[in-house]
């Protein structure tokens, strides 16, 4: 008994001691593990919509998804087959940091005319191709290779939020330039150079077709912007992730216009391979080695199976063009149906798979509007505030990468809901 009591006392003491130690460690961790200021980037609000939609679905509601910007179609058959075949032929170790040579060659070749909307004879040296873990990693590599901490880089508003968030996380200063309907919601030489005169810019990110607007820059406007920027010593980074998905007119790569521009592209959208996390860059020769060194250190290499799949995806043109025809059909359904439902005002629906609708007739709080539309109409869309902190409260982004039947259903539901 005594022995037991002594044992209990000892155990209590030990317990108290370990609790004390635990408290101390927690206190210490709080001071040691304070998140860095640079990690304090804003969240993506669309993810809140995704979570709310999932909650409703778990309660048995049917939701039409137009919130996340990804194709419902899976990776092309050729890509999946290539990976299946490769699985029997392991090991699948690291690859060259810049990517498998045959994939880099295939990407370079695609600029000579693989896609109707691109090449037509553009001769790109495969040595300038860098394979990346999605275009997202391409931005990190490009910004790290081209800019110093503190450098000012212009981005369009409304625009894809990670441009400014990645820049900020890397210590650069994103400079938000507002765009207007007069220029199809894209950056202009005048706005860029005016800002450059206020304080010099080191870079500018352009995107055509763009997210969230779905608008495109006419070829001449893009050419003027690239020339003006480079004449002023501003590095151009052209996000061409939605190339191949153009409906109003053809999207031309900035690689046509300059060997000094950094081109960023991806297998996520046209190729329907979001989850495979694979993209590429065309970089000026002077940046190849610095980017290779960065990639060696940051990632070693890009997932091998995804590289194998990506190379085979170039053989899927017919399948991918069919998917694109589906988007064109969806686009038509929305262009015809939304005005009848009361959403009469939206930006030119030129490319990608987004429609950016002005909802100010109904609400000037797009987050609240999107939440109610989800709850009451069962249609999930992204509030504009994700893309434009100021005017985004008047806009809603609808992604039309789903099935045509779903688009029809979305229009009907929105129509019924807005009519009350
Ligand atoms: C304009 C734009 N750029 C880049 C990306 C990143 O795509 P990923 O990293 O899948 O290539 C997206 C994703 O939605 C996008 O919309």
Q: pLDDT tens string for the chain (420 positions)?
A: 344 444 566 666 666 666 777 777 777 776 778 899 999 988 877 888 899 999 999 999 999 999 999 999 999 999 999 999 999 998 999 999 999 999 999 999 999 876 544 456 789 999 999 999 999 999 999 999 999 999 999 999 999 999 999 999 999 999 999 998 788 888 999 999 999 999 999 999 999 999 999 999 999 999 999 999 999 999 999 999 999 999 988 898 999 999 999 999 999 999 999 999 999 999 999 999 999 999 999 999 999 999 999 999 999 999 999 999 999 999 999 999 999 999 999 888 999 999 999 999 999 999 999 999 999 999 999 999 989 988 999 999 999 999 999 999 999 999 999 987
Cα of 291 to ligand 1 centre, how many Å?
A: 20
Give the end of a domain, one of 297, 314, 331.
314
| Structural domain ending residue among the three candidates 314, 340, 367 | 314
Element (H, E) at 237: strand 235-239
**Of 314, 346, 361, at which residue does a domain stop?**
314
Q: What is the DSSP letter of 201?
A: -
Domain match, 327 and 244 both: no
In 3D space, the residue among 281, 366, 257, 333 whose CA is nearest the CA of residue 64 turns out to be 333
Q: Is residue 14 part of a domain?
A: no
Indicate if 274 and 198 belong to the same structural domain.
Answer: yes
Q: Is 135 in the pocket of ligand 1 (CB under 6 A)?
A: yes
Do 152 and 223 fall within a single domain? yes
Candidate of 130, 136, 251 to mutate for ligand 1, largest count of ligand atoms within 8 Å of Cβ: 136
Answer yes or no: is the C-beta of 191 below 6 A from any ligand 1 atom.
Answer: no
Whether 329 is covered by a domain: the verdict is yes
Ligand 1 contact, 382 CB (< 6 A): no
| 209 and 247 inside one domain | yes
Q: Answer yes or no: is the C-beta of 131 below 6 A from any ligand 1 atom.
A: no
The CATH number of the domain holding residue 328 is: 3.90.1150.10
Nearest CA to ligand 1 atom 16: 211
DSSP one-letter string for 284-323: -HHHHHHHHHHHHHHTSS--HHHHHHHHHHTT-HHHHHHH
CB 158 less than 6 A from any atom of ligand 1 = no
* Range(s) of the domain holding residue 375: 46-73+318-419
- Token pair for residue 369? 């509007």
For residue 271, give the CATH number of its domain. 3.40.640.10
134: Cβ below 6 Å to ligand 1?
A: yes
Best residue among 268, 275, 356, 382 to mutate for probing ligand 1, ranked by most atoms within 8 Å of CB: 268
Q: 359 and 290: one domain?
A: no
> Residue 16 is inside which H or E element, if any?
helix 2-32
Same domain assignment for residues 306 and 397: no
Separation CA 67–CA 245 (nearest Å): 18
Does residue 111 sit in the same domain as residue 230? Answer: yes
Is the beta carbon of 235 within 6 A of some atom in ligand 1?
no
> Is residue 17 domain-resident?
no
Q: Are residues 322 and 299 in the same domain?
A: no
Using the structure block, give the residue that is written with the tokens 């053809």. 250
- 323 plus 376 within the same structural domain: yes
Query: How many structural domains comprise the chain?
Result: 2
CA distance 233 to 252: 22
Q: Is the CB–ligand 1 distance for residue 307 below 6 Å? A: no
One domain, residues 309 and 178: yes
Query: 274 with 267: CB under 8 angstroms?
Result: no
* 276 Cα to the center of ligand 1, angstroms: 13
- Whether 131 and 267 map to the same domain: the answer is yes
CA distance 377 to 413: 6
pLDDT, residue 114, reads: 60
As a whole number of angstroms, the distance between CA 355 and CA 348 comes to: 8
> What is the whole-number distance in angstroms between the Cα of residue 240 and the centre of ligand 1?
9
Nearest to 246 by CA among 357, 122, 117, 334: 117
Identify the pLDDT of residue 44: 77
Tell me how far CA of residue 293 lies from CA of 5, 144, 167, 391, in angstroms. 64, 11, 20, 40
On whether residue 91 sits in a domain, the answer given is yes
Whether 95 lines ligand 1, by a CB cut-off of 6 Å, is: no
10 Å Cβ neighbour count for 332? 15
- Whether residue 3 lies inside any domain: the answer is no
Q: Which atom belonging to ligand 1 lies closest to the Cα atom of 135?
A: 11
274 CA closest ligand 1 atom index: 10
CA separation for the pair 330, 334 (Å, rounded): 6
Quick one: 334 and 407 in the same domain? yes
Would you say residue 35 lies in a domain?
A: no
What's the pLDDT at 313?
98
Per-residue model confidence (pLDDT) at position 185: 87
Span from the CA of 135 to the centroid of ligand 1 (angstroms) = 6
Q: How far is the CA of 10 from the centre of ligand 1 (A)?
A: 59
Q: How far is the CA of 140 from the centre of ligand 1 (A)?
A: 12
Contacts of 290 (CB under 8 A, 6+ apart): 145
What is the DSSP code (8-state) at residue 41? P
* Residue whose C-alpha is closest to residue 307's, from 112, 132, 168: 132
268 in a structural domain: yes
C-alpha 239 to ligand 1 mean position (Å): 9
Closest CA to 66 of 353, 395, 394, 420: 353
60 assigned to some structural domain: yes
| C-beta 207 within 6 A of ligand 1 | yes
């Amino acid at each position: 008994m005594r022995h037991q009591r002594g044992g209990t006392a000892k155990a209590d003491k030990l317990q108290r001691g370990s609790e004390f130690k635990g408290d101390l460690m927690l206190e210490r961790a709080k001071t040691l593990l304070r998140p860095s200021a640079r990690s304090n980037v804003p969240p993506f609000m669309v993810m809140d919509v995704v979570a709310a939609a999932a909650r409703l679905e778990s309660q048995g509601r049917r939701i039409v998804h137009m919130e996340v910007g990804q194709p419902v179609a899976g990776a092309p058959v050729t890509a999946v087959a290539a990976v299946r075949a490769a699985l029997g032929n392991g090991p699948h170790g690291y690859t060259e940091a810049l990517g498998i040579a045959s994939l880099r060659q295939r990407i370079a070749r695609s600029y000579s005319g693989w896609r109707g909307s691109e090449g037509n004879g553009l001769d790109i040296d495969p040595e300038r191709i860098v394979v990346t873990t999605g275009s997202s990693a391409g931005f990190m590599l490009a910004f790290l290779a081209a800019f110093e901490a503190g450098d000012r880089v212009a981005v369009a508003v409304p625009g894809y939020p990670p441009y400014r968030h990645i820049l900020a996380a890397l210590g650069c200063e994103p400079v938000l330039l507002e765009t207007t309907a007069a220029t199809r919601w894209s950056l202009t030489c005048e706005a860029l150079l005016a800002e450059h005169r206020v304080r010099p810019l080191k870079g500018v990110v352009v995107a055509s077709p763009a997210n969230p607007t779905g608008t495109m820059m006419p070829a001449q406007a893009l050419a003027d912007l690239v020339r003006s920027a480079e004449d002023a010593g501003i590095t151009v980074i052209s996000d061409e992730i939605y190339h191949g998905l153009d409906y109003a007119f053809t999207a031309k790569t900035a690689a046509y216009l300059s060997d000094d521009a950094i081109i960023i592209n991806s297998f996520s959208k046209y190729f329907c391979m979001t989850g495979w996390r694979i993209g590429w860059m065309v970089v000026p020769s002077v940046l190849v080695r610095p980017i290779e060194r960065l990639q060696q250190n940051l990632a070693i290499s890009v997932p091998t199976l995804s590289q194998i799949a990506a190379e085979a995806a170039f053989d899927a043109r017919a399948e991918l063009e069919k998917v694109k025809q589906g988007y064109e059909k969806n686009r038509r359904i929305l262009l015809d149906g939304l005005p009848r439902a009361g959403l009469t005002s939206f930006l030119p629906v030129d490319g990608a798979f987004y429609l950016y609708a002005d909802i100010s007739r109904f609400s000037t709080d797009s987050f609240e509007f999107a939440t109610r539309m989800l709850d009451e109409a069962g249609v999930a869309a992204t509030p504009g505030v994700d893309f434009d902190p100021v005017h985004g409260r008047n806009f809603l982004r609808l992604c039309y990468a789903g099935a045509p039947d779903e688009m029809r259903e979305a229009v009907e539901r929105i129509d019924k809901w807005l009519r009350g």
